[in-house]
Amino acid sequence: MALTQVSSNKCAGGFQKVFEHDSTELKCKMKFAVYLPPKAESDKCPVMYWLSGLTCTEQNFITKAGSQQAAAEHGIIIVAPDTSPRGCSIEGEDDSWDFGTGAGFYVDATQEPWKTNYRMYSYVTEELPKLINSNFPTDPDRMSVCGHSMGGHGALICALKNPGKYKAVSAFSPICNPMQCPWGQKAFSGYLGSDKSTWEAYDATVLAASYSGPQLDVLIDQGRDDQFLSASQLLPDNLIAACSEKKIPVVFRLQPGYDHSYFFIYSFMNDHIKHHAKYLSA
């Protein structure tokens, strides 16, 4: 699978790059960002996957989160894919900001007209890691996942659905119980259909309640002044209850004064990379 380099910028001693490729899962051209720390010039490095939120592309994280310095210090490659297929000419794909383009919700759609292209779950868990491992100096056994909002939901379900695959997971203001919130209900109805039993496979709170795998240490940061927290879109309490029931260790930090933005992510990014580094170190 051929990669085309779109951009390359020296950053924190390493390189922040963006590549484009033809995706077999999504049947369209996709871009992803990859940060290669200085260590990658001479050694294999673990990989942290970052999953972004609604409306984002691969650009938001690499220009706003300030992740490169800590990734350079800990010798971690960071991969940030886009949030949905692009330019698939599906009727309605650009009609709303929280469904379709920029809003793939990290599920494999089963409904027309979405099911051919909207397979972000398989893309981020299967196709993308294979592509990264065959083109960059990675240690394929050491990967982790992290994300924000819709991407926080993505990170949590990737880790919970694949016990042992990801060495660590963390999230910023994740959509924790999508079956119970307006964003999730809209996305799941459209992509997965009206049978709500099929939604459970992509709901972190439901998945946590039935998790049986190696211990997963979860770190979640949530801004207390997040408008989507007060609008009941995120529902972290439901996930925390499910995790404590299953004795899944969660560090949940409610950060006073912070909102839902990348200013919040930037403020605590180093803590998250440190959390990942702890579990990714050989």
Tokens of 278: 């702890």
- Beta strands at 169-172 and 218-223: parallel, antiparallel or unpaired: parallel
Q: Where are the alpha helices (DSSP H) in the chain?
A: 59-64, 68-74, 120-122, 128-135, 150-161, 182-192, 204-209, 227-230, 236-245, 262-280
Q: Give the pLDDT band (50/70/90) at residue 214.
A: very high
Query: Rg of the chain's alpha carbons, rounded to an integer?
Result: 17
Closest to 206 (Cα-Cα) out of 253, 249, 153: 153
Q: Is the pLDDT of residue 210 over 80?
A: yes
pLDDT tens string 82-140: 999 999 999 999 999 999 999 999 999 999 999 999 999 999 999 999 999 999 999 99
pTM of the full structure: 0.98
> Rounded distance, CA 244 to CA 230, Å?
23
Question: In terms of C-beta distances under 8 Å and separation of at least 24 residues, what long-range contacts does 178-183 make, across chains too?
Answer: 178/105, 178/153, 178/202, 178/203, 178/204, 179/203, 179/205, 179/206, 180/205, 180/235, 180/238, 181/232, 181/233, 181/234, 181/235, 182/233, 183/54, 183/98, 183/150, 183/233
* Partner residues linked to 138 by β-bridges: 45
pLDDT in tens, 71-90: 999 999 999 999 999 999 99
Q: Which residues are catalytic?
A: 149, 226, 260
Question: Average pLDDT of 47-54?
Answer: 98
Identify the pLDDT of residue 28: 98
Please report which confidence band the pLDDT of residue 46 belongs to, taking 50, 70 and 90 as the band edges. very high
Does 262 score more than 70 pLDDT?
yes
Pairing of strands 28-36, 14-23: antiparallel
CB 219 within 8 A of CB 159: no
Phi–psi pair at 3, nearest 5 degrees: -110, 140
pLDDT digits (tens, 9 = 90+) for 148-174: 999 999 999 999 999 999 999 999 999
Identify residue 139 by its one-letter amino acid code.
Answer: D
pLDDT for 44 equals 98
Q: Edge-to-edge, what's the strand order for the sheet holding 218-223?
A: 4-11, 14-23, 28-36, 77-81, 45-51, 138-148, 169-172, 218-223, 250-255
282 pLDDT higher than 90: no
Taking the CB of residue 11, how many other CB atoms lie within 10 A of it?
18
For 58-63, what is the mean pLDDT? 98
The CATH architecture annotation of domain 4-281 reads 3-Layer(aba) Sandwich (3.40)
Confidence at 228, pLDDT banded by 50, 70, 90 = very high
Alpha-carbon distances of 191 from 39, 108, 159, 264, rounded to whole Å: 40, 8, 21, 30
